[in-house]
Every structure is written in C-alpha cells, then in structure tokens.
Chain A
C-alpha cells in the first residue's frame, strides 16, 4: 500500500470516505498466538462473540463459524470465556510472527 504525501491529505484531516476504517487491517500487530476454531465442539453459546473486543467472531445463520483474522488481535479472551470444559472449540495456537 503506498502512503500519501502531506499535500494530498484533506484540510483538517477530515475523512470523507464512510466505512473506510475497515481498510485498516488492525490484526497486523497480532504476535505469537492466534485462536483456532473447531465447530464440532462449539455449543453456540455466543460467549466468545459477546466478549470479543474486536468483533472478530464470525457468525452465519445464528451459528459461530470462525475467526476474522484481519481484525483478531490474538488477545485470547474468546478462549478464556469459552465455557466448554473439555475439548474446547477455541484454542490459542502458535503463529509464526512476520516482521
């Protein structure tokens, strides 16, 4: 992605493009671990969806279907809040860090 020079910015830094925050792939700073989802163990209690601070739990037709890795920052709150005790549907796994 090329970066704009200062002359191309709007006066006062006004953002004229609604919804453009989606273009900011905030997960670039996830480092070391990421949640991995296994739908077979999921009870669809939606705890992870409620607690996720980045709205990165994907829901389709009232069922949890996966993780949006563009915005997941790897905090692990989903795994921590998941009430399933054995064979958890969400587990934090090692992820190679790209520099």
Chain B
C-alpha cells in the first residue's frame, strides 16, 4: 500500500528524488528551493540514497556539474529557484543542446528588483526558449508525481531532453498537504534503469561531447536537437497514462475542469488553479457555464490538443503570472492566441497578469474575471490585447 504523508512541496519533491535515486545531485541553496537540496544532502549522508552530492558555488556551477555528470553517463538531479535559475541561463541551453536527460525541480520565484522571494513565474518563463521540457505542478502531490514522470520522459531514447518540474514557491513548496507516496520499489520499476546514450567514462569508445562547429553545420545541429522536443509530445502522453494505470493518477498536457459545456473559461497554471476550481464551483452552483483549463505542460506547447478543447468557448481568459514588458500580453496568452488563430470559429481571448511577487489571487478575483469576460464580449474590441492586472492597487488602500 502507498503511504499518505503530510508533506510540503519541497519534501514531496525530495521524496520523489529519494525513490528515483539519481547517481549525482548538484546542490546550491536558493530560497524557496533550498529545502529540497538540504533534504537530499541529508538522505545521502544517512545512506538512504546512493547519490553523490556535489556542493557547488553557484547555480551556474550546479548546472555545469549536472552537464558533466550526465555526459559521464549518470542519472542527475538538481533544484533551482528564481535568481538561481537565472544564473543557470547559459548552461540550460548547453544541457538541452547536448540532449542530456537532466531533471531539475524549479521552485518558482520572482526576480529582482525589488528583492522578493515569493512566487511568480518570472524565472521559468524567462527560460521558456532554452530547449527544456517544462511541467508545472499545482500542489505537492503533483510535484512528486511530475518528478517521477520527468525521469521517464527525459530518459526515453526518443526524447533525451532535460525536464524542469515547476512548483510555486512557498504556496506549494512550503505548504503541507496530504500526499500519497508510492512504494519505493514500484517507483523504481516504473522509472526503470538509466541507460546513457553516450558515456564519457566508456573509455573503450572515445568521443567528444560539446565540440564546436561553424555556420556550415550549426543550423543542422539545432534542427536535430529539436526532434527530441517534437518526439516528447507522444512520450509525455504515454508516460502520463502509464503512471495513471499503475498509480491511479492520470496526467496529460492539461487538466480540463468543468469545460465540457462551458461558455467562459480560465486558463492558468500551478497553485492558483486550486482557488480557480473553488470559484468555478461557486459560479456553477448559480447556474453559470464556466470552466478551467489547467495547463500542465508549457513546453512542448500542446497546440493541437488545446485547439480541440477550447474551440467551443465563447471567451477565454488567459492568466500569466509574469510581467513581460513591451509584449502583447504574457507568454501563455501569446502562445494560446497564436495556437487558436487558425480556427475558423474561435473564442475571444483576453490577457490578464496576476500574482506578481506572491500577490494573492482569491475567489472573488476569478469571479471578477468572468464578469469582465461577459462584458468584454461587447465592449473591449477597441482595447484589443491590453493586459488587465488582477488585484493591483490603482488607488491608495
């Protein structure tokens, strides 16, 4: 029988790592992800995992060490957050370009200035084009489930692309909930044994990893790398189903909540979806046809599946938890509007920004958005894609 434990998101993530038992973990503490690295270091010190812990001097070094360890043929883990993920920026591209199946927990946090350690998606959205698969978690259970699946996705021979598993800082990372922890041997069996594609330690077959090239080959290499991300679409679905068949919790690119007959819907990611579901339940009890699409996989962006699911709506509000100055709405809004453009009949799509630096979003805010959408049907043609801010003080208060 699986155990039900009261765990916060960081502890749940560490439990997944304990059961996957990677060969190497590079650790550097950064709030709010520090607890993951501390727990893994403790597990290694207590002999509960075989993982070699590398205590490095920055996140740039952490990801560089992961690249080295993965190239050497090891299964690798690291955890990053906010400013630390930004420090990894350059090395994230190297990891994905070398097709190294590294798994990193990313505990989402705001970027300076002002200095703020609370959650928003500024950090991982800044890395949306670095070639990593991005999976977002609503709660500790999903953080645990997603890390286990991440290894199976990343290490699939058709994929070989690193995976970020994101969870919201503090709201998820430091809030304890009932979390089902599966039996260790079942998780190990599900994830399987890691087989490196190439290993630098295989000295009978010498090789060069990370060499240079000129304009005559660089473009071909980038196209070749892209194939792993393309292949991952199929594998993410298969792994989500296989996980469900074994453990009872099924995963896809997204979760549809009361969408079947919905006229108006919200689309967002991570912890705020819990509140959104409550708001939708309340509106449904008043007879309103409203729903939620909780986006789980942002990279690769599930274009086809979203088109099929969202086509019948009258209007859709896309909520980004990041400010992208000078853009036409946030990154999720951008992708969604672009994805649905080719539909003959498509919903009106409105961009919202919420929750920066840990700002709350509550039930009444979601209700305001639905009211806003109903009015927007008739009055906002002229405002176009002007982003609306949720729970921002326009007046002293």
Contact = CB atoms under 8 A, between A and B. Distances in A.
B221 interface: yes
B64 interface: no
Interface in A9-68: 9, 11-16, 18
**Which secondary structure characterizes the binding site on chain B?**
loop
Contact of A14 (B198, B220, B223): B198
A78 B36 CA distance: 57
B223 A6 contact: yes
A93 B69 CA distance: 49
B207 A13 contact: no
By size class, the interface of chain A is 10 to 19
Interface string B217-231: 101110111001000
A97 interface: no
B220 A18 contact: no
B45 interface: no
Nearest to B228: A11
Contacts of B205: 16
Given A12-B160, A13-B213, A15-B207, A4 B197 contact: no
A86 interface: no
A84 B198 CA distance: 51
B206 A18 contact: yes
| Most central of A4, A5, A12 by chain B CB within 10 Å | A12
A7 B160 CA distance: 16
A4 B221 CA distance: 10
B208 A15 contact: yes
Interface of B: 97-100, 160, 197-198, 205-209, 211, 213, 216-217, 219-221, 223-225, 228
